[in-house]
Amino acid sequence: MKKLFLVLAAIGLLHAQDNRTEIAYPKDFKAQTLANMRGHLASLNEIIAALSEGKIEEAGKIASKKLGTGSMGKDEMALSMKYMPKNMAKMGYMLHKSASDFAQLASLSDKEDMPDLLKSLGNVTARCVACHSTYKLK
């Protein structure tokens, strides 16, 4: 019975519809954008690793430097917005804003504040999930 369920679940996943909005990006810019997003994931991994070692200040510095609003290159942002729907651009900005908010909280926190820090970091990853659940690059 368990095997039948697993097979049916796998079939369901194969036939699941992808209802995300496709965004057409030029090939080179798409590759650059995807690399940038993988960089965001790597930065999140660094932040989580720092938090797991109790290095709260370091986690905040990583967030500020690599994900915060200060990490957004003006030229790159202008080029991105050329291809993004307005809502997608807003979601991207809110990712960077929430990372800056996390960094600010981390600068004022210690280990006793870990639940608040994790909640704030959850706001960052929620922005990623929301955008990736809504859009995909074509």
pLDDT at 4 over 80: no
pLDDT in tens, 19-43: 999 999 999 889 988 998 999 999 9
Asked whether residue 78 carries a pLDDT value surpassing 90, the answer given is no
Burial state string for 69-82 with b = 16 or more CB within 10 A and e = fewer than 16? eebeeeeeeeebee
Does the structure show a pLDDT above 60 at 76?
Answer: yes
pLDDT on residue 68: 94
pLDDT of 28 reads 86
What average pLDDT score do residues 75-99 get? 87
Mean of the per-residue pLDDT values of the chain: 89
CATH number of the domain located at residue range(s) 20-137 in this protein: 1.20.120
Going from N- to C-terminal start, the domains of the chain cover: 20-137
